[in-house]
């Protein structure tokens, strides 16, 4: 599909024209280009993190359609997300910048398109940090409860969550080589982890569910009467997991040969996750010993109960550690991606206090203030979990309805641009339009779907707050537009060498 073929090895040297291409797009290079093709793929794969998304929402899937919807939903959603990834990768190849989605939308559709795409992308990225790290906190609490008198509560889980956020902030203050190294380790940890978990669950438990159960059992604990509606709501598990692959685009200014490797990293991360995730879900579901007992696990984490029932406490501890470490890798990668989005958006004066958030450490060439802002706002997004048992589902939905539309907007604008769009070296050729339209239609569908209530009756405890979060962000973005529209601009408006140098130094 790509017209250009290069190795994905991390040993690829920086190509001279990558820095020149960035200048042509209006930006003075200030970030260190130290990441190879494998590292770029690894960050998106780590953010997708099947050991995070599949595991943390597995309990949600057990009640919203059950095994049948989880398995076939994963297969179907994965295919549609691959279309979205292919279409987005093509536009990424043409515009390899840290701003990624909003910069693409700005160039193809104008300032307002870029503005709203940026705010949606930011909401999704921050929601992803919150969802990933809160999921890691849930699993950490489950592990503690197995070996101590600790009983997970909303408050104690939130304290663990804050601790994880702090760790990820500190790790991201080092140079991008550490982030790249951790993400490369994460790839093998995820793949080996899935192999170990599925292999152990296939061999050790005394009994297993039948194929007809795994691929055909439908369960509805939502309170809704419509099986079709329940099936659609159940797609959240897969759609939430398949998000964050724009991380490859956000790290493109730190990637060698980014016009090819960033695009390729997006697509590769999706299809590898698609295959490995299907195997993981099947392995978990075959190993269920007691369906209701798994749903009502005292650990608060259904996969932990599957491990305990099938392997005992010692075996369950080992597998939980595999999952928790994978979740920590995932949250670290998402923090890197979100901080680059904050940096890029501030570089174009789009955020309140942009002069602070766009500063880059001269020692590490890392946007340090942007890292702290990213984890701080992620903590705020997760605050409702202290008051509502259904808040975690809302946080994951915030990620989906924030980031997924942001994926489709550049694709839609690329389709509208026609011949005005100049493809990069990685492109779809004659398949560009059909793939693009499939991607846009799918995103429109899931965006509406995940604004809908997930449980019935709808009340304060079961309300899907994702729709409210989306509305609040759009209102705030609109209000701030009238404040910042004179200063917000992508670099065509302030592209002189002197002005770029001042921005790079944090003067402006």
Each residue's pLDDT tens digit, 95-124:
988 878 888 998 899 889 999 998 888 888
Model pLDDT, residue 449: 84
Torsion of CA 439, 445, 447, 452, to 10 degrees: -160
Q: In sequence order, which residues have a C-beta less than 8 Å from that of residue 347 and are 6 or more positions away?
A: 27, 98, 99, 354, 358, 503
Spatial distance between the Cα atoms of 500 and 491, rounded to a whole number of angstroms: 8
Partners of 35 in the beta sheet? 255
Question: Is the per-residue pLDDT at 293 higher than 60?
Answer: yes
Q: Which of 26, 64, 290, 333 is nearest to 179 (CA)?
A: 333
Model confidence band, residue 395 (pLDDT cutoffs 50, 70, 90): low
Model pLDDT, residue 389: 63
Residue 457 burial (C-beta neighbours within 10 Å; 0-12, 13-18, 19+): exposed
Three-state secondary structure call for residue 255: strand
Model confidence band, residue 159 (pLDDT cutoffs 50, 70, 90): very high
What's the pLDDT tens digit per position in 303-359?
A: 999 999 999 999 999 999 999 999 999 999 889 889 988 998 898 888 889 899 999
Between 16 and 373, the more confident residue is 373
Query: Do β-strands 64-65 and 219-220 pair in parallel, antiparallel, or remain unpaired?
Result: antiparallel
Segment 438-461 mean pLDDT? 84
Question: Is the per-residue pLDDT at 506 higher than 90?
Answer: no
Spatial distance between the Cα atoms of 52 and 131, rounded to a whole number of angstroms: 9
DSSP 8-state code for residue 253: G
* Strand ranges for 186-314 from DSSP E: 219-220
User: Could you tell me how far CA 278 lies from the centroid of its own chain?
Assistant: 18
Q: How many CB atoms lie within 10 A of CB 344?
A: 27
Partners of 255 in the beta sheet? 35
């Amino acid at each position: 599909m790509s017209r250009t073929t290069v190795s994905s090895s991390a040993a690829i040297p920086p190509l001279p024209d990558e820095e020149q291409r960035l200048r042509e797009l209006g930006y003075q290079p200030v970030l260190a280009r130290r990441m190879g093709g494998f590292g770029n793929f690894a960050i998106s794969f780590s953010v997708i993190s099947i050991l995070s998304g599949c595991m943390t929402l597995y309990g949600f899937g057990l009640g919203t359609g059950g095994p049948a919807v989880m398995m076939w939903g994963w297969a179907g959603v994965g295919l549609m997300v691959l279309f979205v990834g292919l279409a987005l990768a093509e536009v990424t190849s043409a515009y390899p910048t840290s701003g990624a989605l909003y910069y693409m939308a700005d160039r193809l559709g104008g300032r307002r398109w870029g503005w709203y795409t940026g705010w949606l992308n930011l909401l999704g990225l921050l929601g992803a940090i919150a969802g990933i790290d809160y999921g890691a906190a849930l699993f950490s609490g489950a592990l503690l409860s197995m070996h101590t008198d600790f009983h997970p509560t909303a408050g104690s889980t939130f304290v663990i969550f804050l601790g994880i956020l702090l760790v990820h902030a500190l790790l991201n203050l080092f140079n991008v080589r550490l982030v790249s190294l951790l993400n490369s380790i994460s790839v093998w940890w995820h793949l080996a982890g899935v192999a170990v978990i599925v292999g152990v669950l296939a061999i050790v438990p005394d009994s297993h569910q039948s194929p007809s159960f795994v691929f055909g059992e439908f369960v509805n604990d939502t309170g809704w009467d419509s099986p079709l509606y329940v099936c659609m709501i159940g797609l959240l598990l897969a759609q939430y997991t398949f998000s964050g692959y724009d991380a490859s685009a956000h790290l493109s200014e730190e990637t060698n040969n980014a016009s090819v490797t960033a695009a390729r990293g997006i697509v590769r991360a999706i299809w590898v996750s698609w295959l490995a995730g299907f195997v993981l879900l099947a392995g978990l579901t075959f190993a269920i010993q007691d369906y209701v007992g798994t749903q009502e696990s005292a650990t608060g984490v259904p996969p932990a109960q599957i491990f305990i029932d099938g392997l005992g406490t010692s075996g369950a501890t080992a597998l939980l550690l595999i999952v928790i470490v994978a979740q920590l890798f995932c949250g670290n990668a998402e923090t890197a991606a979100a901080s680059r989005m904050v940096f890029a958006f501030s570089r174009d004066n789009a955020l309140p206090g942009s002069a602070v958030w766009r500063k880059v450490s001269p020692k590490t060439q890392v946007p340090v203030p942007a890292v702290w802002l990213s984890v701080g706002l992620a903590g705020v997004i997760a605050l409702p979990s202290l008051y509502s048992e259904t808040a975690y589902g809302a946080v994951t939905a915030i990620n989906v309805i924030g980031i997924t539309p942001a994926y489709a907007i550049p694709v839609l604008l690329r389709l509208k641009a026609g011949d005005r769009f100049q493809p990069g070296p990685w492109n779809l050729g004659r398949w560009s339009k059909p793939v693009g339209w499939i991607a846009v239609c799918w995103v429109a569908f899931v965006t509406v779907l995940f604004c809908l209530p997930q449980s019935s009756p709808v009340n304060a405890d079961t309300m899907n707050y994702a729709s409210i979060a989306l509305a609040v962000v759009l209102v705030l973005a609109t209000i701030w537009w009238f404040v910042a529209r004179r200063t917000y601009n992508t670099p065509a408006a302030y592209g002189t060498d002197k002005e770029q140098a001042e921005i790079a130094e944090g003067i402006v």
